[in-house]
Amino acid sequence: MASRSARQTQLDLHVRELWQCRRCPRMIPPPVSGGPILSKVILVGQAPGVKEPVLARPFAWTAGKTLFGWFKQFCGMTEAEVRARIYFAAVCRCFPGKTSAGGDRVPAPDEIRNCSSWMDAEFDLLRPQLVIAVGKLAISQFIEIGKLDAVIGRTFPMRRQRRTFDLIPLPHPSGASPWHRIPPGKALLGDAMRLIAEHAAMRRLIRHSERSAA
């Protein structure tokens, strides 16, 4: 296994190459990355919104405030601590643009395929023990999903890129959907966040944050 410093160098290069990606002509660059964070926990989002490329970080606007609020409530970690300890990936790394109705466009299958090699490389390099998939599009890259009620609040043992890990799905924190604010979604969200907080990989990150704050 490569040393930590060698893996950090590889991840630095990976992120630099990711920022230069222009594979999808319908996507609006630049790609968004949370930076080269060596971590055994990967958070997989769906795709950036209109604000994220401008602010140069994932979950940079209102959905992010909700998401980081969940981590603060259940894991005791601030937004800065989460960003510094967890690797942020996504199904697609560029903003897909808007539909004629004004909503964010859902990435096309070919765009998802184009972007999947970035995540494959990240799994191979980071070898995560815990993957947090946020939103239906992200969850569906790992498991079949019908209703959120059937998958939120559960842990799924998974295998990808010859690596085993645990998948814990979360609903998307967008204000456009009330699912996580009303029954049964509110209770299932709490169950999911407690599973995340109690996972061994996450416990190590929480202890690290606690020591840093002491």
CATH of the domain at 147: 3.40.470.10
User: Residue 148 has what pLDDT?
Assistant: 97
- β-bridge mates for residue 132, sequence order: 43, 168
User: Residue 107 has what pLDDT?
Assistant: 98
Q: How many domains does the chain have?
A: 1
User: Residue 29 has what pLDDT?
Assistant: 97
Strands 87-90 and 130-134, bridge-based pairing: unpaired
Sign of the CA dihedral with 102 first, then 106, 110, and 112 last: positive
Distance CA 28, CA 48 (A): 10
CB atoms within 10 A of CB 187: 12
User: Residue 183 has what pLDDT?
Assistant: 97
Mean pLDDT by runs of 10 across the 214 residues of the chain is 89 98 98 98 97 97 97 98 98 97 94 97 96 98 96 96 93 92 97 98 93 75
- β-bridge mates for residue 42, sequence order: 87, 131
CA angle 40, 41, 45 (to 5 degrees): 145
Q: How far is CA 27 from CA 23, 49, 53, 114, 120, in A?
A: 9, 12, 12, 11, 20
Q: Which domain holds residue 97?
A: 4-213
CB 131 within 8 A of CB 116: no
User: Residue 214 has what pLDDT?
Assistant: 65
User: Residue 1 has what pLDDT?
Assistant: 63
User: Residue 209 has what pLDDT?
Assistant: 84
